[in-house]
Homo-oligomer: A and B are copies of this chain.
Protein backbone atom coordinates (compact mmCIF):
# COMPACT_ATOMS: atom_id res chain seq x y z
CA UNK A 1 0.00 0.00 0.00
CA UNK A 2 1.43 3.32 -1.12
CA UNK A 3 0.44 6.18 1.15
CA UNK A 4 -1.59 8.80 -0.72
CA UNK A 5 0.26 12.14 -0.72
CA UNK A 6 -0.99 15.67 -1.45
CA UNK A 7 0.72 18.02 -3.89
CA UNK A 8 2.37 21.11 -2.35
CA UNK A 9 3.45 22.76 -5.59
CA UNK A 10 4.86 21.92 -9.02
CA UNK A 11 7.30 23.19 -11.63
CA UNK A 12 7.37 22.42 -15.36
CA UNK A 13 10.34 22.68 -17.71
CA UNK A 14 11.19 21.86 -21.30
CA UNK A 15 14.66 20.58 -21.96
CA UNK A 16 16.68 20.12 -25.15
CA UNK A 17 18.83 17.23 -26.20
CA UNK A 18 22.31 18.02 -27.48
CA UNK A 19 24.67 16.63 -30.09
CA UNK A 20 28.37 16.40 -29.42
CA UNK A 21 30.88 17.93 -31.83
CA UNK A 22 33.75 16.70 -29.65
CA UNK A 23 32.64 13.39 -28.20
CA UNK A 24 32.47 12.32 -24.58
CA UNK A 25 33.57 8.67 -24.36
CA UNK A 26 34.98 7.13 -21.22
CA UNK A 27 34.78 7.89 -17.52
CA UNK A 28 37.71 8.53 -15.24
CA UNK A 29 35.36 8.01 -12.29
CA UNK A 30 32.21 5.94 -12.80
CA UNK A 31 31.04 6.36 -9.18
CA UNK A 32 28.29 8.74 -8.16
CA UNK A 33 30.50 11.60 -9.40
CA UNK A 34 30.42 10.46 -13.05
CA UNK A 35 33.60 12.18 -14.20
CA UNK A 36 34.69 12.05 -17.84
CA UNK A 37 38.00 11.03 -19.36
CA UNK A 38 37.93 14.08 -21.62
CA UNK A 39 36.24 17.42 -22.20
CA UNK A 40 33.52 17.67 -24.85
CA UNK A 41 31.59 20.23 -26.90
CA UNK A 42 28.00 20.05 -28.10
CA UNK A 43 25.27 21.91 -29.94
CA UNK A 44 21.99 22.28 -28.06
CA UNK A 45 19.01 21.41 -30.25
CA UNK A 46 15.82 23.38 -30.66
CA UNK A 47 13.09 22.25 -28.26
CA UNK A 48 10.48 23.19 -30.85
CA UNK A 49 11.55 20.07 -32.73
CA UNK A 50 12.83 17.69 -30.03
CA UNK A 51 12.19 18.13 -26.35
CA UNK A 52 11.63 16.53 -23.00
CA UNK A 53 8.84 18.10 -20.94
CA UNK A 54 9.07 17.45 -17.22
CA UNK A 55 6.84 18.45 -14.34
CA UNK A 56 8.24 18.01 -10.84
CA UNK A 57 5.83 17.90 -7.90
CA UNK A 58 6.67 18.55 -4.28
CA UNK A 59 4.56 16.27 -2.04
CA UNK A 60 3.51 16.73 1.58
CA UNK A 61 5.34 13.62 2.87
CA UNK A 62 7.17 13.36 6.18
CA UNK A 63 10.96 13.72 5.82
CA UNK A 64 11.72 10.13 6.77
CA UNK A 65 9.54 8.61 4.04
CA UNK A 66 11.70 7.58 1.07
CA UNK A 67 9.06 7.40 -1.60
CA UNK A 68 10.10 9.58 -4.54
CA UNK A 69 8.49 8.45 -7.78
CA UNK A 70 9.16 8.92 -11.49
CA UNK A 71 7.07 8.39 -14.64
CA UNK A 72 8.65 8.54 -18.10
CA UNK A 73 6.41 8.49 -21.18
CA UNK A 74 3.47 7.35 -19.09
CA UNK A 75 5.25 4.42 -17.44
CA UNK A 76 6.52 4.38 -13.87
CA UNK A 77 10.28 3.88 -13.58
CA UNK A 78 11.55 2.34 -10.36
CA UNK A 79 13.91 4.77 -8.66
CA UNK A 80 15.54 1.88 -6.83
CA UNK A 81 16.58 0.51 -10.21
CA UNK A 82 17.84 3.85 -11.59
CA UNK A 83 20.49 4.80 -9.04
CA UNK A 84 21.44 7.97 -10.91
CA UNK A 85 17.93 9.35 -10.45
CA UNK A 86 18.29 8.79 -6.73
CA UNK A 87 21.69 10.52 -6.75
CA UNK A 88 20.29 13.57 -8.55
CA UNK A 89 17.36 13.86 -6.12
CA UNK A 90 19.71 13.59 -3.14
CA UNK A 91 21.98 16.29 -4.55
CA UNK A 92 19.03 18.66 -5.02
CA UNK A 93 17.94 17.99 -1.42
CA UNK A 94 21.45 18.67 -0.20
CA UNK A 95 21.66 21.92 -2.18
CA UNK A 96 18.21 23.19 -1.13
CA UNK A 97 17.56 21.71 2.28
CA UNK A 98 14.24 20.36 1.01
CA UNK A 99 13.23 17.08 2.64
CA UNK A 100 9.79 16.30 1.25
CA UNK A 101 8.98 13.75 -1.46
CA UNK A 102 9.40 14.37 -5.22
CA UNK A 103 7.05 13.05 -7.88
CA UNK A 104 8.41 13.61 -11.40
CA UNK A 105 6.52 13.15 -14.66
CA UNK A 106 8.47 13.31 -17.92
CA UNK A 107 7.56 12.94 -21.58
CA UNK A 108 9.82 12.93 -24.66
CA UNK A 109 8.55 14.36 -27.94
CA UNK A 110 10.75 11.80 -29.76
CA UNK A 111 11.14 8.02 -29.41
CA UNK A 112 13.28 7.24 -26.36
CA UNK A 113 14.95 4.27 -28.01
CA UNK A 114 15.95 6.17 -31.15
CA UNK A 115 19.40 6.95 -29.77
CA UNK A 116 18.76 10.68 -29.59
CA UNK A 117 20.32 11.35 -26.19
CA UNK A 118 17.02 11.19 -24.33
CA UNK A 119 18.93 10.78 -21.06
CA UNK A 120 20.68 14.10 -21.62
CA UNK A 121 17.39 15.93 -22.06
CA UNK A 122 15.72 13.92 -19.30
CA UNK A 123 18.28 14.49 -16.55
CA UNK A 124 18.73 18.14 -17.44
CA UNK A 125 14.96 18.57 -17.18
CA UNK A 126 14.73 16.71 -13.87
CA UNK A 127 17.56 18.68 -12.26
CA UNK A 128 16.27 22.03 -13.45
CA UNK A 129 12.66 21.37 -12.45
CA UNK A 130 13.57 19.98 -9.02
CA UNK A 131 15.97 22.85 -8.33
CA UNK A 132 13.34 25.46 -9.12
CA UNK A 133 10.74 23.48 -7.16
CA UNK A 134 13.04 23.64 -4.12
CA UNK A 135 13.56 27.37 -4.35
CA UNK A 136 16.94 27.38 -6.05
CA UNK A 137 17.40 30.20 -8.57
CA UNK A 138 17.90 27.69 -11.37
CA UNK A 139 18.36 30.24 -14.15
CA UNK A 140 21.20 31.96 -12.33
CA UNK A 141 22.86 28.74 -11.24
CA UNK A 142 23.02 26.75 -14.47
CA UNK A 143 26.74 26.05 -14.15
CA UNK A 144 26.27 24.75 -10.63
CA UNK A 145 23.27 22.66 -11.72
CA UNK A 146 25.34 21.19 -14.58
CA UNK A 147 27.40 19.49 -11.85
CA UNK A 148 24.26 17.74 -10.56
CA UNK A 149 22.95 16.93 -14.05
CA UNK A 150 26.36 15.37 -14.80
CA UNK A 151 25.79 12.89 -11.97
CA UNK A 152 22.61 11.78 -13.75
CA UNK A 153 24.07 11.51 -17.22
CA UNK A 154 27.33 13.09 -18.35
CA UNK A 155 25.91 14.70 -21.46
CA UNK A 156 22.97 16.13 -19.45
CA UNK A 157 25.36 18.71 -18.05
CA UNK A 158 25.56 20.27 -21.52
CA UNK A 159 21.76 20.63 -21.93
CA UNK A 160 21.82 23.27 -19.16
CA UNK A 161 22.81 25.84 -21.77
CA UNK A 162 21.65 26.75 -25.26
CA UNK A 163 23.82 27.46 -28.28
CA UNK A 164 27.16 25.68 -28.20
CA UNK A 165 28.33 24.29 -24.89
CA UNK A 166 31.60 22.96 -23.49
CA UNK A 167 31.80 20.44 -20.69
CA UNK A 168 35.15 20.94 -19.02
CA UNK A 169 36.37 17.62 -17.70
CA UNK A 170 38.00 19.25 -14.68
CA UNK A 171 40.92 17.86 -12.72
CA UNK A 172 39.65 17.67 -9.13
CA UNK A 173 38.92 14.22 -7.69
CA UNK A 174 35.68 15.57 -6.15
CA UNK A 175 34.46 16.72 -9.59
CA UNK A 176 33.67 20.27 -8.43
CA UNK A 177 35.34 21.66 -11.56
CA UNK A 178 33.75 19.21 -14.01
CA UNK A 179 31.12 21.66 -15.26
CA UNK A 180 29.40 22.89 -18.39
CA UNK A 181 29.95 26.39 -19.76
CA UNK A 182 28.36 28.16 -22.65
CA UNK A 183 30.70 28.91 -25.57
CA UNK A 184 28.11 30.98 -27.39
CA UNK A 185 24.38 31.36 -27.05
CA UNK A 186 21.83 30.69 -29.74
CA UNK A 187 21.91 34.31 -30.96
CA UNK A 188 25.53 33.83 -32.03
CA UNK A 189 23.95 32.23 -35.12
CA UNK A 190 21.53 33.81 -37.56
CA UNK A 191 18.01 32.34 -37.58
CA UNK A 192 18.78 30.38 -40.73
CA UNK A 193 22.21 29.20 -39.63
CA UNK A 194 23.43 25.84 -38.23
CA UNK A 195 20.66 23.41 -39.02
CA UNK A 196 20.78 19.67 -38.42
CA UNK A 197 19.20 16.69 -40.14
CA UNK A 198 18.94 13.56 -38.04
CA UNK A 199 18.64 10.24 -39.88
CA UNK A 200 17.01 7.61 -37.65
CA UNK A 201 18.09 4.21 -39.01
CA UNK A 202 15.54 1.41 -39.37
CA UNK A 203 18.02 -0.89 -37.67
CA UNK A 204 16.35 -2.35 -34.59
CA UNK A 205 19.32 -4.27 -33.20
CA UNK A 206 20.15 -3.95 -29.54
CA UNK A 207 23.26 -1.83 -29.14
CA UNK A 208 25.84 -1.84 -26.39
CA UNK A 209 24.76 0.87 -23.91
CA UNK A 210 27.02 3.91 -23.57
CA UNK A 211 27.69 3.12 -19.94
CA UNK A 212 28.87 -0.43 -20.53
CA UNK A 213 30.61 0.48 -23.80
CA UNK A 214 32.61 3.26 -22.12
CA UNK A 215 33.63 0.99 -19.33
CA UNK A 216 34.97 -1.70 -21.72
CA UNK A 217 36.70 0.95 -23.84
CA UNK A 218 38.45 2.47 -20.84
CA UNK A 219 39.58 -0.99 -19.73
CA UNK A 220 40.86 -2.21 -23.10
CA UNK A 221 41.46 0.49 -25.73
CA UNK A 222 44.98 1.88 -25.85
CA UNK A 223 43.88 4.29 -28.54
CA UNK A 224 41.16 5.77 -26.29
CA UNK A 225 43.73 6.58 -23.63
CA UNK A 226 45.88 8.37 -26.18
CA UNK A 227 42.84 10.19 -27.56
CA UNK A 228 41.79 11.42 -24.12
CA UNK A 229 45.28 12.29 -22.88
CA UNK A 230 46.74 13.88 -25.97
CA UNK A 231 44.35 14.47 -28.84
CA UNK A 232 41.17 15.86 -27.24
CA UNK A 233 42.80 18.57 -25.12
CA UNK A 234 44.05 20.26 -28.31
CA UNK A 235 40.86 19.60 -30.26
CA UNK A 236 38.71 20.97 -27.46
CA UNK A 237 40.51 24.33 -27.58
CA UNK A 238 40.52 24.34 -31.37
CA UNK A 239 36.77 23.70 -31.48
CA UNK A 240 35.95 26.42 -28.93
CA UNK A 241 37.99 28.94 -30.92
CA UNK A 242 36.36 27.88 -34.19
CA UNK A 243 32.85 28.16 -32.70
CA UNK A 244 33.53 31.65 -31.36
CA UNK A 245 34.84 32.68 -34.79
CA UNK A 246 32.01 30.87 -36.64
CA UNK A 247 34.75 29.15 -38.64
CA UNK A 248 32.51 26.50 -40.19
CA UNK A 249 35.37 24.90 -42.14
CA UNK A 250 37.06 23.97 -38.89
CA UNK A 251 33.89 23.23 -36.91
CA UNK A 252 32.60 20.83 -39.55
CA UNK A 253 35.89 19.11 -40.36
CA UNK A 254 36.71 18.62 -36.70
CA UNK A 255 33.18 17.34 -35.99
CA UNK A 256 33.51 14.60 -38.60
CA UNK A 257 37.02 13.66 -37.56
CA UNK A 258 36.08 13.51 -33.90
CA UNK A 259 33.06 11.34 -34.58
CA UNK A 260 35.23 8.99 -36.62
CA UNK A 261 37.84 8.89 -33.88
CA UNK A 262 35.27 8.05 -31.23
CA UNK A 263 34.03 5.13 -33.37
CA UNK A 264 37.65 4.12 -34.01
CA UNK A 265 38.13 3.84 -30.25
CA UNK A 266 34.97 1.72 -30.04
CA UNK A 267 36.45 -0.60 -32.68
CA UNK A 268 39.76 -0.70 -30.78
CA UNK A 269 37.83 -1.82 -27.69
CA UNK A 270 38.02 -5.56 -26.97
CA UNK A 271 35.65 -7.18 -27.70
CA UNK A 272 35.05 -4.49 -30.33
CA UNK A 273 31.99 -2.23 -30.27
CA UNK A 274 30.38 -1.41 -33.61
CA UNK A 275 27.81 1.37 -33.63
CA UNK A 276 28.10 2.39 -37.28
CA UNK A 277 26.50 0.07 -39.83
CA UNK A 278 26.43 -0.13 -43.63
CA UNK A 279 23.59 2.43 -43.52
CA UNK A 280 25.76 4.81 -41.48
CA UNK A 281 28.55 4.38 -44.00
CA UNK A 282 26.17 5.08 -46.88
CA UNK A 283 25.32 8.41 -45.21
CA UNK A 284 29.03 9.19 -44.79
CA UNK A 285 29.67 8.50 -48.49
CA UNK A 286 26.72 10.65 -49.52
CA UNK A 287 27.90 13.56 -47.36
CA UNK A 288 31.40 13.19 -48.82
CA UNK A 289 29.94 13.30 -52.31
CA UNK A 290 28.00 16.48 -51.51
CA UNK A 291 30.94 18.11 -49.76
CA UNK A 292 33.43 17.88 -52.62
CA UNK A 293 36.05 19.70 -50.55
CA UNK A 294 36.77 17.56 -47.46
CA UNK A 295 38.42 20.44 -45.58
CA UNK A 296 35.81 23.07 -46.50
CA UNK A 297 32.68 20.98 -46.08
CA UNK A 298 29.12 22.22 -46.48
CA UNK A 299 27.85 19.37 -44.31
CA UNK A 300 29.24 17.49 -41.32
CA UNK A 301 28.11 14.03 -40.23
CA UNK A 302 28.41 12.81 -36.66
CA UNK A 303 27.33 9.55 -35.01
CA UNK A 304 26.66 8.77 -31.36
CA UNK A 305 26.34 5.33 -29.75
CA UNK A 306 24.16 3.90 -32.52
CA UNK A 307 23.78 3.85 -36.31
CA UNK A 308 21.83 7.16 -36.58
CA UNK A 309 23.56 9.89 -38.54
CA UNK A 310 23.27 13.54 -37.63
CA UNK A 311 24.23 15.91 -40.42
CA UNK A 312 24.98 19.52 -39.55
CA UNK A 313 24.29 22.08 -42.27
CA UNK A 314 25.61 25.63 -42.50
CA UNK A 315 22.19 27.04 -43.41
CA UNK A 316 18.54 26.11 -43.62
CA UNK A 317 18.64 26.11 -47.40
CA UNK A 318 21.56 23.67 -47.29
CA UNK A 319 19.47 21.48 -44.99
CA UNK A 320 16.52 21.53 -47.37
CA UNK A 321 18.74 20.66 -50.31
CA UNK A 322 20.31 17.84 -48.30
CA UNK A 323 16.88 16.50 -47.36
CA UNK A 324 15.89 16.30 -51.01
CA UNK A 325 18.96 14.22 -51.77
CA UNK A 326 18.42 12.06 -48.67
CA UNK A 327 14.84 11.38 -49.69
CA UNK A 328 16.05 10.26 -53.09
CA UNK A 329 18.64 7.86 -51.71
CA UNK A 330 16.78 6.69 -48.59
CA UNK A 331 13.07 6.89 -49.47
CA UNK A 332 10.51 4.89 -47.51
CA UNK A 333 9.76 1.58 -49.21
CA UNK A 334 6.50 1.15 -51.10
CA UNK A 335 5.42 -1.40 -48.50
CA UNK A 336 6.02 1.09 -45.67
CA UNK A 337 3.93 3.71 -47.45
CA UNK A 338 1.08 1.23 -47.86
CA UNK A 339 1.24 0.22 -44.21
CA UNK A 340 0.98 3.81 -42.97
CA UNK A 341 0.96 6.57 -45.56
CA UNK A 342 0.37 9.21 -42.88
CA UNK A 343 3.50 8.29 -40.86
CA UNK A 344 5.61 11.40 -40.45
CA UNK A 345 8.73 10.58 -42.43
CA UNK A 346 10.36 14.02 -42.09
CA UNK A 347 9.74 15.64 -38.71
CA UNK A 348 10.56 19.01 -37.25
CA UNK A 349 11.06 21.90 -39.64
CA UNK A 350 10.28 20.26 -43.04
CA UNK A 351 7.45 17.84 -42.45
CA UNK A 352 6.53 15.16 -44.97
CA UNK A 353 4.52 11.98 -44.70
CA UNK A 354 5.94 8.73 -46.02
CA UNK A 355 3.63 8.96 -49.00
CA UNK A 356 4.84 12.49 -49.80
CA UNK A 357 8.48 11.51 -49.37
CA UNK A 358 8.07 8.45 -51.56
CA UNK A 359 6.27 10.51 -54.18
CA UNK A 360 9.13 13.00 -54.36
CA UNK A 361 11.72 10.24 -54.58
CA UNK A 362 9.89 8.40 -57.32
CA UNK A 363 8.84 11.38 -59.39
CA UNK A 364 12.47 12.46 -59.63
CA UNK A 365 11.36 16.06 -60.14
CA UNK A 366 14.29 17.43 -58.20
CA UNK A 367 17.36 18.71 -59.92
CA UNK A 368 19.33 15.75 -58.69
CA UNK A 369 22.94 16.29 -57.73
CA UNK A 370 23.58 12.60 -57.23
CA UNK A 371 24.38 9.88 -59.71
CA UNK A 372 21.47 7.86 -61.04
CA UNK A 373 22.61 4.55 -59.58
CA UNK A 374 22.57 6.03 -56.08
CA UNK A 375 18.88 6.97 -56.29
CA UNK A 376 16.67 4.79 -54.13
CA UNK A 377 19.73 2.60 -53.46
CA UNK A 378 18.91 2.51 -49.76
CA UNK A 379 15.13 2.39 -49.82
CA UNK A 380 13.60 1.61 -46.43
CA UNK A 381 16.89 1.82 -44.54
CA UNK A 382 16.02 5.07 -42.74
CA UNK A 383 12.95 5.01 -40.54
CA UNK A 384 12.47 8.79 -40.47
CA UNK A 385 14.30 12.12 -40.44
CA UNK A 386 14.28 15.15 -38.14
CA UNK A 387 15.04 18.59 -39.46
CA UNK A 388 16.05 20.86 -36.60
CA UNK A 389 18.65 23.42 -35.53
CA UNK A 390 20.42 25.07 -32.64
CA UNK A 391 18.30 26.14 -29.68
CA UNK A 392 18.10 27.26 -26.07
CA UNK A 393 18.95 25.39 -22.88
CA UNK A 394 16.50 23.87 -20.41
CA UNK A 395 13.93 26.42 -19.14
CA UNK A 396 10.85 26.86 -17.00
CA UNK A 397 7.52 27.00 -18.82
CA UNK A 398 4.97 29.11 -16.99
CA UNK A 399 2.17 29.01 -19.56
CA UNK A 400 -1.16 27.68 -18.39
CA UNK A 401 -1.82 24.05 -19.31
CA UNK A 402 1.80 23.08 -19.89
CA UNK A 403 2.20 21.04 -16.70
CA UNK A 404 2.06 17.28 -17.02
CA UNK A 405 -0.52 15.71 -14.73
CA UNK A 406 0.34 13.02 -12.26
CA UNK A 407 -1.00 9.64 -13.38
CA UNK A 408 -4.65 9.37 -12.41
CA UNK A 409 -4.15 6.44 -10.04
CA UNK A 410 -1.77 8.45 -7.82
Contact = CB atoms under 8 A, between A and B. Distances in A.
A261 B294 contact: no
Copies of this protein, total: 2
A284 B272 contact: yes
Contact of A281 (B222, B226, B256, B274): B274
A226 B264 CA distance: 13
A125 B158 CA distance: 59
Contacts of A220: 257
A231 interface: yes
Nearest to A222: B231
A277 interface: yes
Contacts of A230: 222, 226
Interface string A254-282: 00110011011101111110100110010
A264 B223 contact: yes
A298 interface: no
A257 B221 CA distance: 9
**Chain A, interface SS category:** helix
A84 interface: no
Nearest to A278: B278
Interface in A285-340: 288, 294
A227 interface: yes
Interface string A199-229: 0000000000000000000001011001100
Nearest to A279: B278
A265 B257 CA distance: 12
Contact of A267 (B231, B264, B278): B264
A38 to B, nearest CB: 14
B270 A264 contact: no
A260 B256 contact: no
Contacts of A284: 272, 274
Contacts of A257: 220, 268, 270
Contacts of A269: 260
> When A and B form their complex, which 6 residue pairs have the shortest distance between CB atoms, in order from nearest?
A264-B264, A264-B268, A264-B267, A226-B226, A278-B278, A260-B272
Interface of A: 220, 222-223, 226-227, 230-231, 253, 256-257, 260-261, 263-265, 267-272, 274, 277-278, 281, 284, 288, 294
9 contacts: A223-B226, A223-B268, A226-B230, A253-B270, A257-B268, A260-B270, A271-B288, A277-B281, A278-B278
